[in-house]
Amino acid sequence: MLRLLSFAVFLATWWGAAFLAGDQKLPPPPIVLAAVIAEAKSGALFFHLGVTLARVALAFVLAMTLGAALGYLMGRVRLADRLGDPWLILLLHLPALVVIVLAYIWAGLTEVAAIAAIAINKLPTAVVTLREGTRTLDAALDEMADVFAIPRWKAFRHVILPQLAPYLAAAARSGLSLVWKIVLVAELLGRPNGVGFEIGVAFQLFDIPLLLAYSLTFAALVLMIETALVQPVEARLSRWRRRAA
């Protein structure tokens, strides 16, 4: 209910602003909606959204897997932490644009370069979050698993992973938003398709309805994935917390 109200306020503000700014600068909702429908009918909208989504999924999975593994290693092994830390700081502060441009220069304007560049941008935050999580692991529970001779993979799954779950969720959350932002830049600079490419085209043609059509459907997609996927998973993982007395 509240969400609907907040959406209505958004629409009203948009409409009001469009009225004040004029159709040229900010087209009102019906014009943008017409652009969305036209793009959807031609199939272009779904194609570009799909391509972008696939890139997001690939880069996200790649960065999360690698980042979680590295973060866990750095949290557990002092030597790995000492060796990896300078690289981590470098990557954390390297602007996304630099990574993307260098990736395209070194690996060509290819899909691999785009996905690698996006993943590298997200990687360091995942590493940092998981390293912190690993440092907070409860040694008392490790000892318990040790004394009872719980097999390694089982202990990892039932003792370690649940402790890391909030950190994994935090890394996924912040990582996903980062990937959403960067994927469009990577597409704009070096891919012939995807939402970022279309927005680049719309920018060059100064086609504001088209630009808004892609931006808003993209935002809607992000919102849908967030409510349908990320939030339920988070709720399930913290089930035992809520019921705790």
Partner 1 sequence: MQLEVNIASKVYTNAAGERQEALAGFNFALTAGEVGVFVGPSGCGKSTMLRIVVGLDPDYQGRVSRPPGAKIGMVFQEPRLLPWRSVEENVRLVAPQADEARLSLLFGTLGLEAHRSHFPGELSLGLARRVALARAFAVEPDFLILDEPLASLDDALAARLRGEIATLVDSRTVTTLLVTHSVDDAVHLGDRLFFLSQRPSHVIAEIPIHTPRGKRDAAEIRRIKAELARLALANL
Positions in the binding site for partner 1 (CB under 8 A) = 140-141, 143-144, 146-150, 154, 158-159, 162, 240-241, 243-245
Shortest distance, CB of residue 164 to partner 1, whole angstroms? Answer: 11
| Cβ proximity to partner 1, 164 vs 189, nearer residue | 164
CB 48 within 8 A of CB 198: yes
Minimum CB distance to partner 1 smaller for 31 or for 150: 150
**Tokens at 72, concatenated:** 């866990």
**Nearest-approach distance from CB 138 to partner 1, in angstroms:** 9
- Which residues does 63 contact at the CB level (< 8 Å), separation at least 6? 118, 119, 120, 121, 122, 123, 126, 175, 179
Residue 146 CA to its chain's centroid (Å): 37
CB of residue 39 to partner 1, shortest distance in Å: 46
Supply the minimum distance, in Å, between the C-beta of residue 146 and partner 1.
6
- Residue 192 CA to residue 109 CA, distance in Å, equals 9
If the CB atoms of residues 163 and 193 are measured against partner 1, the closer one turns out to be 163
Q: How far is the CB of 209 from partner 1 (least distance, A)?
A: 50
- Residue among 4 and 149 whose Cβ is closer to partner 1: 149
Nearest in space to 59 (alpha carbons), one of 96, 18, 106:
96
Task: Give which of 227, 120, 225 is closest to 183, Cα–Cα.
Answer: 120
Name which of 165 and 221 has its Cβ closer to partner 1. 165
